[in-house]
């Protein structure tokens, strides 16, 4: 059986990455057993990293028993694979402050993770300020969940960045909680970064188009997102947004390396102007976003998929084949349907990113 379009598109992005000698460095991955039932071993993550040829930060999944033992476990896992894994400690500001942050960093953690939704706290909590102060003294990055379930953080983000300029503050999930307004302000706050741990290609397009590339770090959110898929989507969106190979290398590994070494942010060339989507391309992209949303949410994607197919011109051979394959995945109730839908949506919003035909 020949590879399907979404598999070919993923492989093509990874091939481009390897050809440019980029070794991805993931700032956002978990291990352990989450309260939602999700489990992930460090060995499983290492197998994913082997496929993409990269390295990864690792921190615990959400637990209700405290993070001291979990952080120790992550330290041991990373010590056993120090060429591939870098430990971050997860903290709950409701019970931990500066002392716990300093102890975790002193024990070998290279950074910290805060999850306002998982631990149900606000960034205004005084221990958040104390944790960032300790991280700033060590010049250690702090990854903060900034995706679904937190609303908008608002001005507190800028206040924290002002008070702790030595602490790289990494907003997870493309910072979608505040991307709509924060991107315009980012140049004034050199300690604010965004990670790419997000599967909505239009959001990633917005991220790469509105935030300087030196402020963007590759993240996967494994195991909640497939490493190969989220990497391929982010790579293609970065190229379509006009990032140079050097800037892409910074986003997908070089900048994180510099931050962990206490340097940076390193500078990157501004992206070349991206070609806007034509009206028909916008129509297809919006319909495919609806398809992916239906699959993700357990709805019926049949109607938006039909409309997406009808939106294509007679010469849109790649998209026609991609949507035909997507229809087959949906009818078969395949677990690959969501990956097929997301890559089809990515191809739709990045029509000018191809260096060579996806199909002959």
The predicted pLDDT at position 277 comes to: 81
Tokens (6 digits) for 196: 């790419």
DSSP 3-state of 32: strand
Cis before residue 223, ω within 30 degrees of 0?
yes
- Sequence ranges of the domains in the chain: 5-260, 279-349
Instruction: Say whether the peptide bond before residue 265 is cis (omega within 30 degrees of 0).
Output: yes
pLDDT value for 264 = 74
* DSSP E strand boundaries for 92-156: 111-114, 142-144
Reported for 325-334, long-range contacts at CB under 8 A and 24+ positions apart, including other chains, are: 325/4, 325/5, 325/6, 326/6, 326/291, 330/295, 330/301, 330/302, 330/305
**2.40.110.10, 3.30.479.10, 3.30.70.20, 3.20.20.140: CATH of 5-260:** 3.20.20.140
Q: Which of 280, 272, 279 is nearest to 248 (CA)?
A: 272
- Would you write out the chain's pLDDT as a tens digit for each of its 360 residues? 578 899 999 999 999 999 999 999 999 999 999 999 999 999 999 999 999 999 999 999 999 999 999 999 999 999 999 999 999 999 999 999 999 999 999 999 999 999 999 999 999 999 999 999 999 999 999 999 999 999 999 999 999 999 999 999 999 999 999 999 998 899 899 999 999 999 999 999 999 999 999 999 999 999 999 999 999 999 999 999 999 999 999 999 999 999 999 887 898 888 877 777 888 889 999 999 999 999 988 999 999 999 999 999 888 898 999 999 999 999 999 999 999 999 999 999 998 786 544 444
The pTM of the full predicted model, rounded to 2 decimals, is 0.94
For residue 357, the model assigns a pLDDT of 43
Contact 100, 66 (CB under 8 A): no
Dihedral sign from CA coordinates of 130, 159, 71, 38? positive
CB 305 within 8 A of CB 326: yes
Residue 3 pLDDT: 82
Roughly what angle, to the nearest 10 degrees, separates helices 227-240 and 201-210? 50
Q: According to the model, what pLDDT value does residue 354 have?
A: 67
DSSP line for 17-30: HHHTT---EES-BE
Q: The tokens 């998982």 sit on which residue? A: 118
- Buried b / exposed e over 153-186, threshold 16 CB at 10 Å, is beeebbebbeebeebbbbbbbbbbbbbeebbeeb
**Degrees (nearest 5) of the Cα angle 286, 271, 352?**
40
Look at residues 179, 160, 156 and name the one whose alpha carbon lies nearest to residue 168: 160
């Amino acid at each position: 059986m020949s590879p399907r379009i979404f598999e070919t598109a993923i492989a093509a992005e990874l091939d481009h990455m390897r050809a440019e000698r980029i070794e991805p460095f993931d700032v956002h991955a978990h291990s352990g057993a989450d309260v939602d039932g999700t489990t992930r071993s460090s060995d499983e993550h290492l197998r994913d990293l082997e496929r993409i040829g990269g390295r990864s930060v690792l921190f615990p999944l959400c637990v209700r028993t405290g993070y001291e033992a979990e952080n120790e476990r992550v330290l041991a896992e990373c010590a056993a694979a120090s060429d591939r894994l870098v430990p971050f400690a997860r903290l709950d500001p409701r019970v931990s402050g500066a002392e716990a942050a300093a102890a975790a960093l002193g024990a070998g953690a290279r950074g910290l993770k805060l999850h306002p939704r998982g631990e149900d706290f606000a960034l205004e909590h005084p221990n958040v300020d104390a944790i960032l102060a300790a991280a700033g003294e060590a010049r250690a990055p702090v990854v903060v969940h900034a995706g679904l379930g937190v609303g908008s953080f608002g001005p507190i983000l800028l206040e924290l960045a002002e008070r702790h300029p030595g602490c790289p503050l990494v907003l997870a999930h493309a910072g979608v909680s505040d991307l709509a307004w924060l991107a315009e302000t980012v140049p004034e706050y050199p300690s604010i970064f965004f990670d790419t741990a997000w599967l909505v290609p239009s959001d990633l397009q917005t991220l790469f188009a509105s935030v300087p590339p030196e402020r963007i770090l590759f993240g996967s959110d494994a195991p909640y997102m497939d490493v190969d898929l989220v990497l391929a989507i982010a790579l293609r969106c970065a190229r379509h947004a006009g990032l140079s190979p050097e800037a892409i290398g910074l986003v997908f590994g070089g900048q994180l390396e510099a931050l962990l070494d206490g340097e940076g942010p390193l500078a990157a060339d501004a992206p070349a102007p991206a070609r806007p989507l034509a009206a028909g391309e916008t129509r297809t992209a919006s319909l495919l976003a609806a398809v992916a949303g239906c699959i993700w949410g357990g709805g019926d994607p049949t109607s938006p998929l039909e409309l997406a197919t009808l939106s294509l011109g007679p010469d849109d051979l790649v998209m026609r084949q991609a949507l035909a394959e997507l229809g087959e995945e949906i009818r078969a109730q395949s677990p690959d349907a969501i990956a097929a839908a997301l890559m089809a949506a990515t191809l739709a919003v990045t029509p000018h990113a191809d260096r060579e035909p996806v199909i002959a």
